[in-house]
Amino acid sequence: MTPETTPRSEVRPIAAVATVAVAAVAPALLRDRDAAKYLGRSTAWIRAKRAEYVKAEKEHRTANLARLPKHIRIGTAVFYRIIDLDKYIAENAVEGGAVSYDGKGTK
């Protein structure tokens, strides 16, 4: 029997298959350990930079703030926004990683 000639009682409905797309969600905020890893630094380094940032902010040294990673607080927890870390990288990166060389040590 073809589908057109099959009696209605013999036709089985096709089960609907639900497809759920699960997207990986990247966190918008990072704790100091993850922020340090994001920057390729140690947790101690980022905590020291946060202390520098707080000190510069209290002393109104705004010129120094741009060279330090910005952080936020939610309650007592400290977080770093990925967008702020990316901005820090863009403002402090040196293209090519130029290292000064004075020529000493050559014959």
Instruction: Say what the pLDDT of residue 10 is.
Output: 64
d(CA 3, CA 5): 6
pTM of the model: 0.63
pLDDT digits (tens, 9 = 90+) for 37-55: 999 999 999 999 999 999 9
What does the alpha-carbon distance between residue 69 and residue 72 come to, in Å, rounded to a whole number?
10
Mean pLDDT of 26-34: 90
DSSP state letter for 28: S
Residue ranges of the domains in the chain? Answer: 29-94
Query: Which amino acid, residue 18?
Result: A
**pLDDT of res. 91:** 87
d(CA 59, CA 47) in angstroms, rounded, equals 19
